[in-house]
């Protein structure tokens, strides 16, 4: 008997489990049915309701005046953009502008998010991304306080973004593709690589939203995707990716001055979005992130165990209030 | 017209982009094997991980590379990542946030994984690095080819070959050692 045969002989016996199969199938069906596109809902990363949440209806933007933001109602994606489409150069300019920002304080980025589906209440989440690569997740502030490290999934994506401005575009794209592939990836067609760069850049942008080097790098990468359209919407830039099947479109809204992500929409234009995500981004120190979360967590007081002598969280550069 | 039983996975997955319920056919086709693999590696939790694999696969279906007709490598790749995360999280569970550096070595065969495998397998695989272990078990238990493992794990075929060779060598040495001791 060779070692492979021995390995198979030793394999733990697994009996068929029909109730388990039925349960898993039902769960999958439930997962599919009410949320026809749960892009990124599989991991505790995207989306949370924010004080700075933008409630977008078409191109009209409401700016909350304070208090917890209500869950945004599902809205209808605007049909093809009435706003002027810009040359992609704005992303290059934005990258250069971001690079001129002063060095951010803190050592972590806190993203408070709301993910909204057409027939669901908002799904809330708190994501804490440390600059050293560790990622923590909690649905609530309290859960986040108790959380052990979730993963380091974003670390290579962030590194690829930071490296991008110093690399030739093709190498920068390839580096992000490899990062998305978990360290290695077969060379793929341009359109598939575009998709990988888009997805990886958005993940990196969230994980490094409080860092100017990451935001600048992400804008550099997004500039390389020929099919991404850039339009101005008030004080925001709307980045649109349409290279999907079935008319599905993704829109990422970032602050036009800072590149800080504000909102994500996925769906078919003209129909209710499959998912809308609002982000509230803060630059924090890992030691006192709870203070920052408390300011926005539905009126909750700052953490009782927080040391008030510590430096308060410095908000990431906020989006400007849109002009009325 | 072909039934879903005759269609390649890639076609079904592409159809599920506009017709999400179509994805259930992928589940029906691969659930039993994938669950068996996950439960073999992670005991009862493996069933949850197998179920999560299909949910993740559904969420990622737009990114499926249609050049691959058979979705098994894709599914096993997702499952492998979930298993790794499960083993890592289990090793780190209970460690408070920000209070100490994590000393966990990814290569170590952790307590949870060892318990699921049982004492003999755990003893045999404890010296096999995690990545080598994944490649070996994907080959032996999931019956993936080297090329399919490369696709599943995103590494070159040559690396898969060397990982499995290294793992088999270590496993063979362990078995010979046991044989000698018993003799």
The ipTM value here is 0.85
Of A312, A314, A309, A293, residue with least CA distance to A68:
A293
Compute the nearest-CA separation of B83 from chain A (Å): 13
Q: Which residue of B has its CA nearest to A34?
A: B20
Out of A4, A42, A246, closest to residue B56 by CB: A42
Cα B53 from Cα B70, distance rounded (Å): 16
- Provide DSSP, A47-64: -B--TT--EEETTEEE--
Residue pair A85/A229 in contact (Cβ under 8 Å)? The answer is yes
Of A24, A151, A274, residue with least CA distance to B54:
A24
A2 contacts B24? CB cut-off 8 A: no
Residue pair B53/B75 in contact (Cβ under 8 Å)? The answer is yes
A183 contacts B23? CB cut-off 8 A: no
Confidence of residue B113 (pLDDT cuts 50, 70, 90): confident
Q: Which residue of A has its CA nearest to B88?
A: A151
A192 contacts B65? CB cut-off 8 A: yes
B64-83 pLDDT, tens per residue? 888 889 999 999 999 999 99
Residue pair A279/A286 in contact (Cβ under 8 Å)? The answer is no
Out of B47, B102, B140, closest to residue A4 by CB: B140
Query: Touching check for A287 and chain B: CB below 8 Å?
Result: yes
- Provide, rounded to the nearest whole percent, the portion of chain B with pLDDT above 70: 86
3-state secondary structure (DSSP) of residue A236: strand
Residue pair A39/B65 in contact (Cβ under 8 Å)? The answer is no
3-state secondary structure (DSSP) of residue A114: strand
Query: Touching check for B65 and chain A: CB below 8 Å?
Result: yes
pLDDT for position A144: 84
Of B63, B8, B3, residue with least CA distance to B30:
B8
Cα A28 from Cα A23, distance rounded (Å): 9
Residues B146-151, mean pLDDT to the nearest whole number? 90
pLDDT for position A9: 93
Q: Say if residue B171 is exposed, middle or buried (CB neighbours under 10 Å; 0-12, 13-18, 19+).
A: buried
* CB-CB neighbours of B30 under 10 Å: 21
Q: Determine the longest span between alpha carbons in chain A, in angstroms.
A: 78
Chain B residues touching residue A42 (CB < 8 angstroms): 52, 55-56, 59-60
B88-106 pLDDT, tens per residue? 776 654 333 322 222 333 4
Instruction: Please name the residues between 104 and 143 in chain B that touch chain A, using a CB distance below 8 Å.
Output: 116-118, 120-121, 124, 136-137, 139-141
CATH of span B1-101: 1.10.1740.10
A20 contacts B65? CB cut-off 8 A: no
pLDDT for position A298: 33
Query: Touching check for B14 and chain A: CB below 8 Å?
Result: yes
Higher pLDDT, A76 or B85: B85
pLDDT for position B116: 83
- Is the domain covering B118-183 a CATH 1.10.10.10 domain? yes
Q: Which residue of B has its CA nearest to A31?
A: B55
Q: In chain A, which stretches have pLDDT less than 70?
A: 33-88, 119-121, 245, 290-324
Chain A with chain B: Cβ pairs closer than 8 A: 139
Q: Would you kindly state where each structural domain of chain B is located, as residue ranges? A: 1-101, 118-183
Cα A214 from Cα A221, distance rounded (Å): 10
Residue B18, C-beta contacts closer than 8 angstroms, at least 6 positions apart: A245, A246
Residue pair A58/A78 in contact (Cβ under 8 Å)? The answer is yes
A6 contacts B175? CB cut-off 8 A: yes
Whole-number average pLDDT of chain B: 83
Query: Touching check for B54 and chain A: CB below 8 Å?
Result: yes
B1-31 pLDDT, tens per residue? 445 556 899 999 998 888 888 899 999 999 9
In terms of residues, how long is chain B? 183
Cα A273 from Cα A261, distance rounded (Å): 18
Residue A213, C-beta contacts closer than 8 angstroms, at least 6 positions apart: A99, A161, A162
């Amino acid at each position: 008997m060779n070692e492979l045969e021995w390995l198979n002989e030793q394999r733990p016996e697994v009996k068929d489990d029909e109730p388990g199969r039925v349960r898993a199938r039902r769960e999958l069906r439930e997962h599919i049915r009410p949320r026809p596109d749960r892009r990124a809902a599989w991991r505790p990363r995207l989306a949370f309701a924010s004080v700075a949440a933008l409630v977008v209806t078409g191109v009209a933007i409401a700016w909350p005046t304070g208090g917890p933001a209500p869950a945004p109602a599902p809205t209808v994606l605007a049909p093809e953009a009435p706003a002027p489409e810009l040359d992609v150069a704005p992303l290059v300019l934005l990258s250069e502008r971001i690079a001129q920002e002063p060095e951010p304080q803190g050592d972590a980025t806190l993203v408070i998010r709301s993910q909204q589906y057409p027939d669901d209440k908002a799904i809330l989440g708190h994501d804490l991304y440390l600059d050293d690569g560790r990622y923590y997740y909690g649905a609530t502030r309290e859960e986040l306080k108790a959380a052990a490290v979730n993963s380091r999934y974003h670390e290579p994506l962030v590194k690829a973004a930071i490296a991008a401005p110093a690399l030739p575009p093709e190498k920068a794209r390839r580096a992000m593709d490899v990062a998305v592939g978990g360290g290695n990836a077969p060379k793929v067609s341009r359109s598939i690589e575009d998709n990988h760069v888009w997805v990886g850049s958005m993940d990196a942008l969230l994980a490094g939203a409080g860092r100017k080097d990451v935001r600048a790098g992400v804008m550099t990468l997004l500039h390389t995707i020929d099919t991404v359209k850039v339009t101005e919407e008030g004080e925001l830039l709307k980045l649109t990716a349409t290279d999907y099947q079935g008319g599905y479109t993704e829109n990422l809204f970032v602050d036009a001055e800072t590149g800080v992500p504000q909102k994500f929409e996925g769906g078919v234009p003209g129909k209710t979005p499959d998912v809308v995500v609002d982000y509230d981004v803060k630059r924090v120190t890992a030691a006192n992130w709870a203070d920052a979360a408390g300011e926005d967590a539905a009126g909750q007081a700052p953490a009782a165990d927080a040391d008030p002598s510590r430096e308060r969280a410095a908000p990431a550069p906020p989006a400007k209030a849109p002009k009325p | 017209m072909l039934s879903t039983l005759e269609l390649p996975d890639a076609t079904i997955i592409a159809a599920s982009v506009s017709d999400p319920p179509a994805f259930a056919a992928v589940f029906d086709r691969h659930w039993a094997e994938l669950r068996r693999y996950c439960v073999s590696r992670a005991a009862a939790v493996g069933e949850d991980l197998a179920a999560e694999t299909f949910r993740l696969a559904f969420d990622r279906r737009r990114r499926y590379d249609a050049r691959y007709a058979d979705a098994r490598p894709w599914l096993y790749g997702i499952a492998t990542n979930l298993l790794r995360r499960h083993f890592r999280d289990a090793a780190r569970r209970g460690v408070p946030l920000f209070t100490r550096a994590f000393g966990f070595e990814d290569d170590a065969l952790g307590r949870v994984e060892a318990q699921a495998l049982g004492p003999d397998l755990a003893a045999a695989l404890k010296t096999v690095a995690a990545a080598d272990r994944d490649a070996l078990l994907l080959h032996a238990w999931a019956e993936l080819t080297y090329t399919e493992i490369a696709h599943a794990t995103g590494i070159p075929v040559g690396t898969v070959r060397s990982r499995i060779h290294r793992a088999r060598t270590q496993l063979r040495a362990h078995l010979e050692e046991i044989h000698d001791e018993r003799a």
